[in-house]
Amino acid sequence: MTDFVTNNLYLYEADAFCGSVVYYEGEYHVFYIASNQTCIRHYHGESLLSLIKADDIVSKSKKISHLCSYVKSGILYILFSLEGKNKVKIAKSKDWNSFELDEVEINKSQGLNAFKIVQSQDSMYLMTSEKRNGKNISIYVSNNPYIWDFIGQALDDNNIEINSPSIIGVNDYQYLIYESNGTIYAQKGVFNKETCKFNKIEDPCYLNRGYNPKAYVLSNGKIVLISDFNGNIIIQELGALGGLTLNPNFERLKNLHAKSFDDKFVEKGAKLLENYKKESEYEFDIELLENTNFVLKIKESIIKHIYVAYDNAYGNVVFSSVALNDDLKQRTKNIGILNSVKVKIIFSNNIGQVYINEGVASFTFNAEGFIPDCVEFSCSEKTLVKINRYDIMQDLGLDDDENIYSNLF
């Protein structure tokens, strides 16, 4: 387990997947399916940075495929499904350490793909991407954790593939969080509890790469997204109540076009560019010779900067925003020994984001008051760096092809 990475916590266990989190009486409890799929791991602690491993919850049946957790009347419940069986089991704990196992009755179920419990004051709703006549979200309702009744479809949309849906409320709206083809999205809308329909309002926003996402508004006011990617369990804080950090959205991407291109050979160290535009996106495509290390530094001054470093001997990428005093330590992620590394940097709403190789590693930091001016690069061997800058262009009233042509040339 490592420190927060971009407001992300990675629980390292090869091929671990499908996590869940609850917050109760000052403690976080994190659950996920172990790589052998025969047990559920359990960690707890007052901080996500210092979790303690508790006893595993062992399944006496077939392999576990999905899980979710929730609290009702001070009792912890974990629902989990079994691979190859149209059955859901429940693990119940009054002391939050020892668990009793039992079966759950889900009426009219056609096999749950993935699921999450959404709680309200009077009822609980189980959301699942169960397939019924197309691509949709099915809703079950219950006042009893052991019996769930099918009541309808929250969303029926044959145009998109929806997996692992969950809904959270922020202010007067709800956000449908789901995964489609390995990408996690947030769809703004309104959920009607009487009809159990979710009405979309805006285009979905991109959150992250990953699978099995579950979003929670915890009792301490934090909005948390838990997912898995490349065998790692990832916990990401999306913000406090009152605002989600969602970017970039599809409308922004439609108007985002390459504005400038530059290739530079760097011997040992060089300034890659000046007059850095914070409102633009930058990609640095770095081609590496064998055993080449590099440091890419985005600077406002000698004191205020961020940097990305790559150690080719061990395959580690290191990100640091310590110089911005954002209360996050230097963070490290192993991405393997590579002959090329692509670094993308995005600033949006005072949040900075760094993506390595399209999201194999990603880091987020507080960029409020940070006004970068230049980019410096140093390397152990001669290295080619390809630089792309993407600007948000205004719609010129042309069709898509003409608009792109005008902006590029």
Q: Where are the domains of the chain?
A: 8-245, 251-408
Question: Greatest CA span in the chain, whole angstroms?
Answer: 67
Lowest mean pLDDT of 78-82, 133-137, 262-266, name the range.
133-137
pLDDT of residue 215: 87
Lowest mean pLDDT of 108-117, 141-150, 328-337, name the range.
108-117
> In this structure, are residues 352 and 345 in contact, taking their beta carbons and an 8 Å threshold?
yes
Q: Which residue has the higher pLDDT, 392 or 133?
A: 392
Comparing CA positions, the residue from 362, 344, 348, 343 lying closest to residue 279 is 348
Q: Which residue has the higher pLDDT, 248 or 137?
A: 137
> In this structure, are residues 229 and 213 in contact, taking their beta carbons and an 8 Å threshold?
no
Average pLDDT over the chain, rounded to an integer: 77
Q: Which fold has domain 8-245?
A: Tachylectin-2; Chain A (2.115.10)
| Alpha-carbon gap, residue 331 to 6, rounded angstroms | 8
Which of 92-101, 231-240, 350-359 is most confident?
Answer: 92-101
Band of residue 4 on the pLDDT scale cut at 50, 70, 90: very low
Report the percent of the chain where pLDDT is more than 70. Answer: 76
pLDDT of residue 242: 35
Band of residue 49 on the pLDDT scale cut at 50, 70, 90: confident
Question: CATH topology of 8-245 equal to that of 251-408?
Answer: no
pLDDT of residue 355: 83
Q: Which fold has domain 251-408?
A: Jelly Rolls (2.60.120)
Number of neighbours of residue 125 by Cβ within 10 angstroms: 20
Distances (CA, A) of 4 to 15, 26, 237, 323, 405: 20, 19, 10, 16, 42
Comparing CA positions, the residue from 32, 28, 1 lying closest to residue 19 is 32
Q: Which residue has the higher pLDDT, 143 or 306?
A: 306
CA 54 to chain centre: 25
Say whether the peptide bond before residue 248 is cis (omega within 30 degrees of 0). yes
Sign of torsion over alpha carbons 164, 114, 335, 324: positive
B/e letters for 272-293, b = 16+ CB within 10 Å, e = fewer, are: bbeebebebbbbbebebeeebb
> Does 2 have pLDDT greater than 60?
no
Place of tokens 């987020």: 364
CA 358 to chain centre: 13
User: Mean pLDDT over residues 222-229, rounded?
Assistant: 84
> Does 328 have pLDDT greater than 70?
no
